[in-house]
Amino acid sequence: MLALRYTTQLLLDRSAPAPTPGPGEALIRTRRAGIASSDLAVSRGLVPFSGILGHEFAGVVERLHPEASKDDRKRWEGKRVAGSINIICGQCDLCRKGLSTHCRARKVLGLYEKDGCFAELFTLPLRNLCEIPPKVHDDQAVFAEPLAAAIHAAQMIRAEGKPYITILGDGVSGLLCAQIMARLNASVRLLGKHPEKFTLCEKWGIKHRHISEVGRRHDQDIVVDCTGSPEGLTLAQALVRPRGTIILKTTAAPVGSEETPNPHGVDLSPLVRDEVTLIGSRCGSIPDALAALASGAVDVLPLITRRAKLAEALEALRLAAAPDQIKVLLEP
């Protein structure tokens, strides 16, 4: 089968062996896959991963393990699915405490120890899967993973007394967070760099400003950093009020990486001085994301700026890195 693989460099593998589902797993045929900033980080050697890339998907369950129960077969085979990217053991102390997304033996689809969805076929445990509701198109369901993360970030916020929330960054993560948080009882604005993305904010009725135009007055109750760069946290510290909260969603660019040189690291002393709460936020619930899509609460289709065939994945990854792109989708 066709698969986009990274070992020491990106390679379009035209004769990758099709995976076989293990016990408790499903073999899934990819219908849509989204290129994320973490995929670009893998392709640049910034994330220590070797294997088939890709973790944002909408797919169809092709078949289960030969020993799967009749009930499971009936439940899953032929169904359209999205899924959680964290493959967990279910047995370690963290899994038993309800912190399974932090499982000590965790593998992550297309990012850590598990081949991903930039392929014709891939596997995931059944317990990771969630059926896509009929009214949610594949083009929408492929956003389930980043949308789940945005919903999770919003769930970490206590929106009491109509707080001022600033979202930093106008990539997919920022644009999804802005839509979700605009539904809270809060005053939400997005700071970005790309005027074409402000048009989307206008459509959604969300305030927006160019990142260079804002005063750094320590007056925001909550700042959500979706910039993907170390500078985001520095700016967030200049915007947040004393005893305010910063939600850090940035993971893609390590401090001092080749991509975003920052040899001095991030000065965290403002966190102490202003007694700021810093909250890291990562993955959320796929069922919550699919429910939000089914209810029409989130507008994701305008985020698709380009489509490419899996056979053109190398070129698509190059394109996805351009600042005018929001979400580039791969299709079979």
Binding-site ranges for Zn ion (CB under 5 A): 88-89, 92, 95, 103
Alpha-carbon distance of 66 to 73, in angstroms, equals 10
Closer CB to Zn ion, residue 70 or residue 97? Answer: 97
The amino acid occupying position 91 is Q
| 98/161 with CB nearer Zn ion | 98
Minimum gap (Å) between residue 146 Cβ and Zn ion = 24
CB of 59 to Zn ion, least distance (A): 25
Q: How far is the CB of 22 from Zn ion (least distance, A)?
A: 17
Q: Which is nearer to Zn ion, 87 or 117 (CB)?
A: 87
Nearer to Zn ion, 68 or 88 (CB): 88
For Zn ion, the nearest residue by Cβ is 103
Looking at the Cβ atoms of 98 and 205, the one nearer to Zn ion is 98
In angstroms, what is the minimal distance from the CB of 259 to Zn ion? Answer: 32
Task: List the Cα angle 221/176/185 in 5-degree steps.
Answer: 40
Q: Specify whether the CB–CB gap between 12 and 114 falls below 8 A.
A: no
- The answer to whether 53 touches 6, Cβ cutoff 8 Å, is yes
Could you tell me the maximum CA-CA distance found in the chain, to the nearest angstrom? 61
Q: What b/e sequence results for 66-100 when a residue is b if at least 16 CB atoms lie within 10 Å of its CB, and e otherwise?
A: eebeeeeeeebeebbbbbbbbbbeeebebbeeeeb
**Helix, strand, or coil (residue 294):** helix
Taking the complex as a whole, the smallest distance from the CB of residue 97 to Zn ion amounts, in Å, to 10
Residue 145's closest CA among 59, 193, 61, 85? 85
